[in-house]
Amino acid sequence: MPPAKKALVAGRLHRRLRRTLGMDGFGTYCTYLHDWLPAELTHLIDAITTNKTDFFREAAHFEVLTHHVVPALMAEGIGVQRPLRVWSAGCSSGPEPYTLAMVLSDYAARHPMAFHITGTDVCTEVLETARAGIYPEAMVDPIPLPLRKRYLLRSRDPGAALVRIAPEVRDAVTFRPLNFMDSVYDLPERQDVIFCRNVIIYFDHERQQRVLERLCRTLHPGGFLFMGHAETLTDFTLPLHPVAPMVYRKT
């Protein structure tokens, strides 16, 4: 692990050691892990994971989704003969899957279709936030005003400055834990669209290859993979071809 990442992990763990467990150093914590790893593992993961997310992050992707990807899939009966399945991989506290749900709900109002979104993250703490669907008002500013009016509920307490995602949007999303390092991704169905943006940048090349191969196995033939603007697939051999900036289709 590079020194900068070691320092980051140490700083995050230090807060749990001192504030929650009352320990004075990592040696004590290592002993504790030896005896209590199953009980502590979730807290360890929650402490060290990075959770960066925004509504409508890399907004051009959602235009590609509705203008090109969904019409192409609907032409094959997906969304009509069966629900369109979308996976938000590494969803953090929920803005990405809820953005997808709002965009697809708006699209379905004009072009009737069925869809369901699965949001996954390794961190159980952020998944609880995602399930609640409650966010500070300032966080939802990137959402276009028509969608805000349609799909957000304001708190009854004006001083709270909070909004909640409307039930019809929350009901379109299921959240579940998933670790990218697992050998098999525990999803009930293959997916038609996967958003896995700005996730693999945190892994070395070998782990990136493994994750990308598993994502491809989880994707239906003809399905679409959306990656982050800071990521590239040029160094990997995968059954994918580019169709838009950082958007790939499985062959």
Active site residues: 12, 121
Least Cα distance to 90 among 57, 58, 119, 132 occurs for 119
Alpha carbons 169 and 154: distance in angstroms, whole number:
15
Measure the CA angle with vertex 125, ends 140 and 175; round to 5°: 70
Alpha carbons 48 and 10: distance in angstroms, whole number:
9
**Distances from the Cα of 114 to the Cα of 15, 67, 107, 238, angstroms:** 44, 17, 11, 29
Relative orientation angle of helices 3-15 and 26-48, to the nearest 10 degrees: 100
239 Cβ contact list (under 8 Å, min separation 6) = 216, 250, 251
Q: Quick check: helix, strand or coil at residue 43?
A: helix
